[in-house]
Amino acid sequence: MNNFDDFKKDKIYNIAIFASGSGTNAENIFQYFKKQKGAEISLILTNKSDAFVIERAKRLNIPILIFNKDDFYKTRKVLDILLEKKIDLIVLAGFLWLIPNNIIKSFEKRIVNIHPALLPDFGGKGMYGDFVHKKVIETGQTESGITIHYVNEHYDDGDIIFQVKCKVEKDDTPESLAKKVHQLEYEHYPHIIEKILLGFPLL
């Protein structure tokens, strides 16, 4: 059994994606599961009213929720919608806020994030996007990559699920390194999400 074609055919898993930016990973995940037909992106959530992920969600006909800090941290608004949608897995894809405890407790081991470096190095608050790639290059690293991990109450601190590496060349810039890392994200994130949903061994 390798995918949804031969496992739990009667079950459709509901995925919610949190994103703060353009949503390229969100769309990549959507396209992957559109072909697999065993899971679907049931909701996209964003904390930025001008994020391009909103346009992607509209084009792909995915319901979207835009929320602010009070919605997220002072009320149950976001949690209640996740529960109402019967979400099986929460996927963070370029989402920059800490997940509040009420969501973490309700979705224990069902929230995953992807980080554009090899954790535990180059993680923490403010370490995202080109800030990460710049630091990797400045410190003379010869390898970078991606880390997919479970989410807890701290930035980039949850148990590591999967890592894969790429080389950092001497002439790499943050932009060129970002391209390598993005390719790893697009290639591996949907597959790891699928394995998590199906309960397959990950390492």
Domain ranges of the chain: 4-198
Whether 5 has a pLDDT exceeding 90, the answer reads no
7-21, 121-135, 142-156, 158-172, range with the lowest pLDDT: 7-21
The CA R_g of the chain, rounded to the nearest whole Å, is 17
Is 115 an annotated catalytic residue? Answer: yes
Average pLDDT estimate for 185-198: 96
Amino acid at 166: C
72, burial (CB in 10 Å: exposed 0-12, middle 13-18, buried 19+): buried
- pLDDT, residue 1, reads 41
Q: 43 phi and psi, to 5 degrees?
A: -165, 140
Q: How far is CA 164 from CA 22, 98, 131, 144, in A?
A: 23, 24, 20, 8
| This prediction's pTM | 0.93
- pLDDT, residue 54, reads 98
Q: How far is CA 179 from CA 29, 76, 129, 166, in A?
A: 18, 37, 11, 11
- pLDDT, residue 19, reads 97
What is the C-alpha to C-alpha distance for residues 182 and 152, in angstroms, rounded to an integer?
24
What is the C-alpha to C-alpha distance for residues 33 and 61, in angstroms, rounded to an integer?
14
Whether 36 has a pLDDT exceeding 90, the answer reads no
CATH architecture of the domain 4-198 equals 3-Layer(aba) Sandwich (3.40)
Contact criterion met (CB below 8 Å) for 81 and 69: no
